[in-house]
């Protein structure tokens, strides 16, 4: 038996195992899953319900909301969420999460657009109403003028205006 030429002597037990995962890559994968879990932790309950989560993951996420951050219990719960996420389709979950967050961003952008439109109607009056009606002929001119007039009267008395809110809702429901 020649020790120098015998390559079998230097082989490790996992050299022929294709499914072997090194300890470093296992820890990296665990850290990545915990990081993905932390993205879910920051979502509200209604947002979590919109995602297709397993019952175990949903329960773990609800439990962490009751734990104070920066405590040992919180850290352990994050690790548990990472462990539970091994059984989830993380790629699909991240796609759903991206869609959900983008939908929320789009919603905020739409709200800003309608608020600007309402403010422009309140400041410019009939001229702006005419331009809006040219773009959206299905809108009711009389209702728009009435809402703008009453909003301006209410805003002259104080910062709150029920009519301005009503105008915003009308624009949003009719234009969307």
In the chain, where does the domain assigned CATH 1.10.60.30 lie? 106-175
Q: pLDDT by residue (tens digit) across 93-132?
A: 888 878 777 776 677 777 888 888 888 888 888 888 888 8
> pLDDT value at position 12?
58
For residue 76, the model assigns a pLDDT of 92
In sequence order, the 6+-apart residues with CB closer than 8 A to the CB of 99 are none
User: What was the pLDDT predicted at 104?
Assistant: 66
Residues of the chain with pLDDT under 50: 1
Hey, what are 18's tokens? 């294709």
CATH superfamily of 106-175: PSPTO4464-like domains (1.10.60.30)
The predicted pLDDT at position 73 comes to: 92
């Amino acid at each position: 038996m020649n020790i120098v030429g015998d390559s079998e002597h230097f082989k490790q037990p996992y050299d022929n195992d294709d499914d072997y995962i090194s300890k470093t890559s296992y820890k990296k994968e665990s850290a990545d899953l915990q990081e993905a879990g932390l993205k879910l932790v920051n979502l509200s309950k209604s947002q979590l319900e919109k995602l297709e989560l397993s019952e175990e993951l949903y329960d773990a996420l609800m439990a962490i909301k009751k734990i104070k951050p920066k405590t040992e219990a919180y850290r352990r719960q994050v690790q548990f969420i990472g462990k539970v996420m091994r059984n989830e389709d993380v790629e699909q979950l991240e796609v759903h999460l991206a869609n959900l967050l983008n939908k929320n961003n789009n919603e905020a952008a739409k709200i800003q657009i309608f608020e600007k439109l309402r403010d422009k109607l309140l400041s410019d009056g009939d001229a702006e109403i005419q331009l809006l009606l040219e773009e959206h002929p299905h809108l009711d001119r009389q209702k728009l003028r009435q809402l703008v007039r009453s909003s301006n009267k209410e805003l002259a008395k104080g910062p709150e205006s029920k009519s301005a809110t009503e105008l915003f809702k009308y624009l949003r429901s009719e234009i969307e």
